[in-house]
Amino acid sequence: MATIQRKLWRDLRRQLWQFAAVGLIVLLGVALFGASYMAYQNLNSSYQYSYEQLKFMDFLVTQRQLPGEAVQTLETLPGVAATQGRLQRELRVEMPEMDAKRAEGRVISLPLETRANVNDVKIERGDYFRADSTPQVLVLKNFAEYHGLEPGDILALTIGEETVNFRVQGIATSPEYLWVAKSALEFFPSARNFGVFFMPEGQMAELFDTRGSYDQVAIRIAANADRSEVIERVTEVLSPYGLPEITVREKWPSTRMLDMDLKAFSQVAVAFPLLFLAVAAFVIYSLLTRLIMAQRPQIGLMKAVGYSQQQIRNHYLGFALVVGLSASLLGSALGYILSISATRLYVKLLGLPYLNTDPRWETIFFGLLAGLVVALLAGYFPARAALRLPPAEAMREAAPVSSGRPWLERVFPALAGRSFTWRLPFRSLFRSRWRSLTTILGTAAGIALILVGVSFFDAFDYAIEQQFERIQNYDLRLSFNSPRPESILEQIQTIDGINRAEGMLDLPVRLEFGQNSTTTLVSGLAANNELHGLYQGNKRVAISEEGILLTSNLRQVLGVKVGDEVSVQAPSNSASYRVVGFVDQPLGTQGFLPLDEVRRLSALPKALSALLGRRTAQDSISSIMINSNPEASAAVLDRLYQLDGVAAIQVMDRFRSEIDDLMALFNGFIGVMVIFGVALALAIVFNIVTTNILERRREIATMRTIGTPRSKVALMLTLENIITGLLGGLLGFGLGYLGAGFFIGIYNSDLLTMSTIIYPRTFVLTGLGLVLILLISELPGILSVNRMNLAEVTKEQFI
Amino acid sequence: MTMPQVNIVESHQHETANEAVILDKVSKTYQMGEVKVNALENVSLELPKGEFIVILGPSGSGKTTLLNLLGGMDSPSQGEIYINGSSVGHLNTTALTRHRREHIGFIFQFFNLIPSLTAEENIAFAADLVKNPRDTQDVLRRVGLEDRADHFPSQLSGGEQQRVAIARALVTDPPLILADEPTGSLDYETGKLILKVLRKIVSGEGKTVVLVTHNAAIAQMADRVVRLRSGKVQEIKQNPVPLPPDELEW
């Protein structure tokens, strides 16, 4: 081994802890990138794999009373790979012995003896249908788990007026309901109130008396077929039976929801680790600069004895290479392991049918490369700067940047009168500006990383608090099978334990403004509404006769401002309304109009109304918000379930805890980010503080030699660290707040709108944590200088 | 297109059968902020091969600047420098590096040993750079440190560290050794020991040693003394009977 290589290894060994800490920063950056990006890729491929395995549809055709022959014709069309005609009906689930009592159900038919050509299910427990005459169902996993249903249990489903007992044949997962959304407007249905069931086709046809017709056809297209052409052909074939409703795969509620979630996840999975790597790059750059600058005299000597520029540069790049390569390798391995755990967790929480965790070599390679490039670049610039020095100058120690009394002592003469114990730490700040700057910036970066992570918890907590404590002032929400007269409110008000009840009419609509449009829900609220709070910041807003109120996330979606006219298209009517304001609402998008206005919009033409027997009276409501006495809740629920036409009752407390469960994954992901952030902050601060102390071994040895007590030296170092730490902390708070705004912005979606909120307690805890980290970080350095052999250190020329 | 200059080689050569070093009207100016400092002004010198030459002068007289110029660690602002007949004043970085590697051995006041390498490894650190270096054990023996080969600098005394530095300068077998205050950080006895080793390099190995010092006593052991003051050569004096280092007193 050439002597210069030996020097490299010896120096690495001599400063093992410092290089290891630099390596740890690279390792954390690479691991976080690998873990989060591979988790995203795994999740995406688990979805795709589930879609593939369970033959998920490319589009769904919905059309009532579709003859079986028409479905057979569709199969022969060019570009169609497979079709599956099926029935889909809504019904009631009766669970008198269970807490929820009743839920809304959706039942979908599947072939009895063969598996479905499109939209098959995976049996998680139990079996697929058995060829016998006992009524049987497969229950979707989330509903079964919520209500504790197992194969062999009996479940009562009410079809029309008749209640039939079904044997639970199996517990299944479906590609259509990876995310169980009831419709495009109800993203967060509670498993308490909504369940999906599968029945053998023949059994279902008999129960619903469908006489060989279908309600829907799920279609998969051939590999190279053009979907829009296939849809055109399908529409043409089905045109004699009416106008079919087509839902393409990406507009399907579950897919749309998961895509939205995945998109937010992918952005955070890339942006957060990039932030990590950027911070890591800066910290490594500053640390390697200092490590290399500490070797200035050695660089001078190497030049003097005839080492070439290239040899010297390679030597110093060698430090970066060894640190970068080993840290990147370990980081990639750790990232891979973490990505599998993260994916398993996600898959478990979402109840995905299949898990795919193939190694993502391109991501591993990119992570490795990024870690290596960051380390090499961080090492290259200081090495190049050191090489620019003429050898004679390099051999002299670098002079302090500034000399003389710092301005601080001129501005604060009181400080000048203090002892050196107080003055030196302040002077040190100005004496080595690069050191002070890197300490401040490094600490700021560490603090910002922690805050960005923790802000997600705060923002989410705040959003949920707003939604359930301030906006939804009710604890029960009762929904009917079909609109009911408002007079039912009087009946409800008489129930003991109910404090207040208000009606609401929800209507699915399409909002349009210029080129932009979106599907959402418009809710009609009474003018004296109290239970659904509408807020602009802290200001409560009343429902307005003058126009429509929109949730603030629709401002971007539609590109509207107050005063603009938006077009509201309901299934049977449409109208234009002036936007009178925006209201804050964390969950979902929504519009608000006066109750009577929504009644007008929902009114069916009289003839049709009579034909369908549906109520379009001028006093109808679709749901009721109820504020009840918590002690009487069980009795209240009993009474409410006895009312006519009650489809489901949502208990807000339970709904809130379900949302919390759903967000457990998000919390887990952010939790990992926070742990990485804290580890990185610790590594940064530890590195900087240790380097600050070790860089001055000789100076400290000199102080000690002339009789400065150890405690005084420790006090001076602590003071200096606290001063730079606090400056860094303040800057970090600002940067963290900005960073939180950015990351929360990219995470927000139609589903969840969070504001940039960092609770004061988070600032306080982070600040205290910083002081603790600072104190812990300086311990090894101080212990090391306390243990050093003064005679030896003061004799060393190169440290 | 311009024609190649045929006299390039000639202009970089000098008839120097006996001179190790020739300085021809060399000046060195440093810019210190807004102030220009003339470290050397119009210095001309001819130093013969195989001599022990002492450059003497007080602090700030330009001694170290002169030494750095000779060693190719710095470039002159004006004038030309020839080392063993080759012009080195205006070489590029690569050529200067080769020049230092092949022709110069440096000895510094503060030894400049690499703390992470043992005595022998510090010598090997320089030996690795040339094709046919001298044996590291042999040079260690010459400076009397064969039993200290595996010691790290922090385990050696100041005098021992400086002897390792001398061995490091010798291992590449350069014709010219430049020593910058080599006894400056050593005690009297150790200093004399180092001077004896240096003297032996001249008499025993035929090298040229240029030693820079402010200690006038050391001048008595030189074959030739160059006195510098304020960046100018004040006097060049030949010493017909140099004193042996043992007899020096300061």
Query: How do residues A241-267 score in pLDDT, each as one tens digit?
Result: 888 889 999 989 889 888 887 887 787
- Using a CB–CB cutoff of 8 Å, tell me whether A301 touches chain B: yes
- Give the least confident one: A52-66, A419-433, A549-563: A419-433
Position of tokens 């069931």? A197
Q: What is the mean pLDDT of residues B13-23?
A: 72
DSSP A99: S
- Using a CB–CB cutoff of 8 Å, tell me whether B128 touches chain A: yes
**Separation CA B187–CA A571 (nearest Å):** 103
- Using pLDDT thresholds of 50, 70 and 90, give the confidence band for residue B10: very low
Contacts of B68 in chain A (CB under 8 A): 391-392
Q: How far is CA A634 from CA A497, A617, A647, in A?
A: 10, 32, 18
Instruction: Test A7 with B154 for CB contact under 8 angstroms.
Output: no
**Separation CA B112–CA B115 (nearest Å):** 9
Residue of chain B nearest A2, judged by CA positions: B128
Contacts of A298 in chain B (CB under 8 A): 112, 114
Instruction: Test A797 with B110 for CB contact under 8 angstroms.
Output: yes
Task: Give the distance from residue A311's alpha carbon to the nearest chain B alpha carbon, in angstroms.
Answer: 10
- Using a CB–CB cutoff of 8 Å, tell me whether A83 touches chain B: no
Q: Please name the residues between 673 and 732 in chain A that touch chain B, using a CB distance below 8 Å.
A: none
**Separation CA B160–CA B111 (nearest Å):** 10
Instruction: Test B102 with A306 for CB contact under 8 angstroms.
Output: yes
CB pairs under 8 A between A and B: 90
- Using a CB–CB cutoff of 8 Å, tell me whether B114 touches chain A: yes
Element (H, E) at A641: helix A633-641
Mutate to test the interface with B, among A305, A388, A799 (most CBs of B within 10 A): A305
**Separation CA A792–CA A232 (nearest Å):** 88
> What's the sign of the alpha-carbon dihedral B69, B74, B78, B83?
positive
Position of tokens 């230092």? B100
Instruction: Test B154 with A795 for CB contact under 8 angstroms.
Output: yes
Q: Residue A397's pLDDT is what?
A: 55
Element (H, E) at A581: strand A574-583
Q: A253-293 and A296-305 helices cross at what angle (nearest 10)? A: 60
- Pick from A220, A299, A670, A693: nearest CA to A452: A670
Q: Residue B108's pLDDT is what?
A: 85
ipTM above 0.85, yes or no: no
Residue A459 scores a pLDDT above 50: yes
Partner residues linked to A168 by β-bridges: A137
- Pick from A157, A333, A327, A377: nearest CA to A683: A327
Instruction: Test B93 with A795 for CB contact under 8 angstroms.
Output: no
CB-nearest to B121 from A6, A300, A301 is A6
Q: What is the mean pLDDT of residues A713-742?
A: 89
- Using a CB–CB cutoff of 8 Å, tell me whether B110 touches chain A: yes
- Using a CB–CB cutoff of 8 Å, tell me whether A171 touches chain B: no
Could you give the 3-state DSSP secondary structure of residue A67? Answer: strand
Burial label, B208 (beta-carbon count in 10 A; 0-12, 13-18, 19+): buried
Neighbours of A329 (CB within 10 A): 17
Instruction: Test A395 with B108 for CB contact under 8 angstroms.
Output: yes
Residue of chain B nearest A308, judged by CA positions: B97
- Using a CB–CB cutoff of 8 Å, tell me whether A578 touches chain B: no
Q: Residue B7's pLDDT is what?
A: 35
Element (H, E) at A325: helix A309-350
Burial label, A69 (beta-carbon count in 10 A; 0-12, 13-18, 19+): exposed
Q: Residue A638's pLDDT is what?
A: 83
**Separation CA A328–CA A34 (nearest Å):** 10
The string of pLDDT tens digits covering residues A614-642 is: 555 578 899 999 999 877 777 888 888 88
Q: Which amino acid is at A106?
A: R
Bigger pLDDT: B195 or B97? B195
Q: What is the mean pLDDT of residues A388-408?
A: 61
Q: Residue A616's pLDDT is what?
A: 53
- Pick from B179, B172, B141, B161: nearest CA to B63: B179
Instruction: Test A392 with B110 for CB contact under 8 angstroms.
Output: no
Partner residues linked to A248 by β-bridges: A59
Instruction: Test A304 with B94 for CB contact under 8 angstroms.
Output: no
The string of pLDDT tens digits covering residues A658-707 is: 777 777 767 777 787 788 778 877 877 887 787 777 777 767 776 776 67
**Separation CA A104–CA A83 (nearest Å):** 28
Q: Residue A446's pLDDT is what?
A: 83
Residue of chain A nearest B96, judged by CA positions: A306
Contacts of A798 in chain B (CB under 8 A): 112-115
Q: How far is CA A733 from CA A276, A448, A722, A726, B113, in A?
A: 17, 6, 16, 10, 45
Q: What is the mean pLDDT of residues A636-665?
A: 81
Instruction: Test B117 with A6 for CB contact under 8 angstroms.
Output: yes
Mutate to test the interface with A, among B108, B116, B157 (most CBs of A within 10 A): B116
Pairing between strand A194-200 and A122-126? unpaired
Contacts of A10 in chain B (CB under 8 A): 116-117
Partner residues linked to B237 by β-bridges: B225
Residue B8 scores a pLDDT above 50: no
Residue A741 scores a pLDDT above 60: yes
The string of pLDDT tens digits covering residues A89-135 is: 988 888 877 776 778 899 999 999 899 999 999 999 999 999 888 89
- Using a CB–CB cutoff of 8 Å, tell me whether A396 touches chain B: no
Mean pLDDT (chain A) is 85
Contacts of B101 in chain A (CB under 8 A): 305-307
Instruction: Test B114 with A301 for CB contact under 8 angstroms.
Output: yes
Instruction: Test B154 with A796 for CB contact under 8 angstroms.
Output: yes
Element (H, E) at A288: helix A253-293
Contacts of A3 in chain B (CB under 8 A): 117, 121, 124-125, 127-128
- Using a CB–CB cutoff of 8 Å, tell me whether B203 touches chain A: no
Q: How far is CA A562 from CA A523, A547, A557, A585, B123, in A?
A: 19, 10, 14, 17, 81
Could you give the 3-state DSSP secondary structure of residue A503? Answer: strand
**Separation CA A636–CA B229 (nearest Å):** 107
Task: Give the distance from residue B47's alpha carbon to the nearest chain A alpha carbon, in angstroms.
Answer: 21
- Using a CB–CB cutoff of 8 Å, tell me whether A304 touches chain B: yes
A675's CB contacts (< 8 A; 6+ apart) are none
- Using a CB–CB cutoff of 8 Å, tell me whether A401 touches chain B: no
List the Cα angle A471/A474/A475 in 5-degree steps.
125
Q: Which amino acid is at B10?
A: E
- Using a CB–CB cutoff of 8 Å, tell me whether B73 touches chain A: yes
Task: Give the distance from residue B175's alpha carbon to the nearest chain A alpha carbon, in angstroms.
Answer: 14
**Separation CA A560–CA A567 (nearest Å):** 11
Pairing between strand B176-180 and B104-107? parallel
- Pick from A137, A121, A119: nearest CA to A61: A119
Q: What is the mean pLDDT of residues A336-348?
A: 84
Residues in chain B: 250
Instruction: Test B73 with A304 for CB contact under 8 angstroms.
Output: yes
Partner residues linked to A197 by β-bridges: A107, A139
What percent of chain A has a predicted confidence (pLDDT) above 90? 31
Beta-sheet strands, E only, within A73-135: 80-86, 88-95, 101-110, 122-126
- Using pLDDT thresholds of 50, 70 and 90, give the confidence band for residue B2: very low
- Give the least confident one: A373-382, A457-466, A468-477, A579-588: A373-382
- Using pLDDT thresholds of 50, 70 and 90, give the confidence band for residue A789: low
- Using pLDDT thresholds of 50, 70 and 90, give the confidence band for residue B207: very high
Residue B236 phi, psi dihedral angles, 5° rounding:
-125, 120
**Separation CA A212–CA A201 (nearest Å):** 10
Q: Are B83 and B176 in contact (CB under 8 A)?
A: yes
**Separation CA A391–CA A302 (nearest Å):** 8
Element (H, E) at A681: helix A664-694
Q: Residue A799's pLDDT is what?
A: 36
Instruction: Test A309 with B93 for CB contact under 8 angstroms.
Output: yes
Instruction: Test B117 with A10 for CB contact under 8 angstroms.
Output: yes
Q: Residue A422's pLDDT is what?
A: 72
**Separation CA A45–CA A54 (nearest Å):** 14
Q: Residue A605's pLDDT is what?
A: 64
**Separation CA B205–CA A270 (nearest Å):** 67
- Using a CB–CB cutoff of 8 Å, tell me whether B212 touches chain A: no
> What's the sign of the alpha-carbon dihedral A440, A446, A448, A451?
negative
Q: What is the mean pLDDT of residues A524-539?
A: 90
Burial label, B246 (beta-carbon count in 10 A; 0-12, 13-18, 19+): exposed
Contacts of B130 in chain A (CB under 8 A): 306
Residue A235 scores a pLDDT above 60: yes
The string of pLDDT tens digits covering residues A721-732 is: 888 888 999 999
Instruction: Test B128 with A798 for CB contact under 8 angstroms.
Output: no
**Separation CA A379–CA A281 (nearest Å):** 10
Residue-wise burial string across A347-378, b where 16 or more C-beta atoms lie within 10 A, e elsewhere = beebbbbbbbbeebeebbebbbebbbebbbeb
Q: What is the mean pLDDT of residues B188-217?
A: 90
Residue A781 scores a pLDDT above 90: no
Position of tokens 């090997």? B124
Residue of chain A nearest B126, judged by CA positions: A305
Q: What is the mean pLDDT of residues A58-76?
A: 90
Mutate to test the interface with B, among A15, A16, A797, A799 (most CBs of B within 10 A): A797
Partner residues linked to B179 by β-bridges: B107, B211
Q: Please name the residues between 151 and 180 in chain B that touch chain A, using a CB distance below 8 Å.
A: 153-154, 158, 168, 172
- Using a CB–CB cutoff of 8 Å, tell me whether B126 touches chain A: yes
> What's the sign of the alpha-carbon dihedral B115, B116, B118, B119?
negative
Instruction: Test B112 with A392 for CB contact under 8 angstroms.
Output: no
Residue of chain B nearest A302, judged by CA positions: B126
Residue of chain B nearest A789, judged by CA positions: B154
- Pick from A24, A515, A103: nearest CA to A276: A24
- Using a CB–CB cutoff of 8 Å, tell me whether A389 touches chain B: no
